[in-house]
Structure 1
């Protein structure tokens, strides 16, 4: 076949949804208005930050990825991909190798900022020279997570909600993440292949900056090139709604895992898994990250999702965050003060701007 961006599914007639890559301020304005209205109803716009009260801001912004994983008990820890942490300073490479050895981590690994979002700064490292370069790309004093590269072939986001007065939770969203791949024909350059594809041609700005050194290269016939490593929609990954694969067995497994993380009630669990069949059984997966109140039900970015469905999902999830936060507040937990939340959000924005381009 000619040059295409290959995925696991046939192409839809419309490769992008109506709103998929709208500017954030346009898409999220109704969500912000809804949040403010809920804040007026509950007399506190910060109530959701109490939904996961042991996490900074409940995971809305500024939280440490490793601190959430560190809270996992013995059962939950069995499902989390091994990791270690490091603060960039001097002699980063030997210090990192020592930290990896202490946790039985070997190359390849994934290096990512401990405070971040949307895959910003995530680097795939296969060798010691690549590790040294990745560490050097971050400003000094940056907290990093070095995590085992999970070899399982598929990735998904599982949104989990459990009210504090209930023993069982729900999986409100399951999203499959696909990495777009160019397939060469021996004639066209990478840039030409990107321009010809019905999806990538519409969002060249997502892919071209990461492929600068290869844009004018010609891929051999059948040669494949992954366009992005980080499984984030805003970085170019393709999201598919997997709601049909939510099963009682998967929910029960998530209940067992998430109940082993103290006072965690609301957020998205990013995983790698072997097959859809095993995932439906609640088996053969590893957790990459656990995200709190600031996470989304990412099935809204499936190209087949309508704008009405997307807002319905957003309003439902943030409504749940307020309801859970109110229950935790009534139980004595305090939401994050607004001024502190704003300060942490601004700090996170500064950090994100300082990170290198993700892989």
Structure 2
């Protein structure tokens, strides 16, 4: 099982306002960009910083959503994406442009940083954090544009902290960091819920697949429960109540073909990199308030690539904490 890579610092870029980001995260899900988009942003930012001479290695990234506004029109139970009207061709026909769902959002990014030349003091760390923020503002985030934030100036200040090696000291420091990310929600992996639902479905239907379990967790399932009082009507309950903000998410890509040599596939974007066809992999996530997280690894997402098995996944080390054990 993969574990979050080691890091020496946490770099927090708070209150980033993004306009027209891609809200369609996969062929089957929408509502917020996929974590693959933020991992791609992390690597693009690392390359851009390297060009400016900054020696920073980003090993993982966490995202806290403070505000999201998907550009949709609701009519009853049906939601329709608000699409733009693109220019037509010279002959009056519609241009062959594939539309994508758009959303506006305000987020904070948390980067797990490994550096061979760490900042000498707090002032140098603050300067470095501002340089990273300035470079980030020049990039696209999930296809969206970074625009000036409406948050108060003191809430927009990026910061970088050195994470101690001692676990207890690290958790104490993170407890202060996470409070600066409120109010908001961060996405964590809840793959164990998928396995639990799959086991429950197989009790009634031995042929139930993990896709059935994924679809079951992705919707509200109503059940009629008999009332203890025979004079009262049965009660309808749903399995979402009290279960948290559970959502279906894409978690990476699975190979559909063998790895092809660089330049062998026509019209590939990069002729210098090996190429293979892939499809989306799906899992279950939960939006949770940062103040409920015990350590930074619970928030961070990192790449777990297993090329020999054809798996290119985003991984997260969140584990729910049991507050009470009545057994």
What's the TM-score once normalised by structure 2's chain length?
A: 0.25
Larger Rg: 2
Q: Which has the higher strand share?
A: 2
| Higher relative contact order structure (alpha carbons within 8 Å, sequence separation ≥ 6) | 1
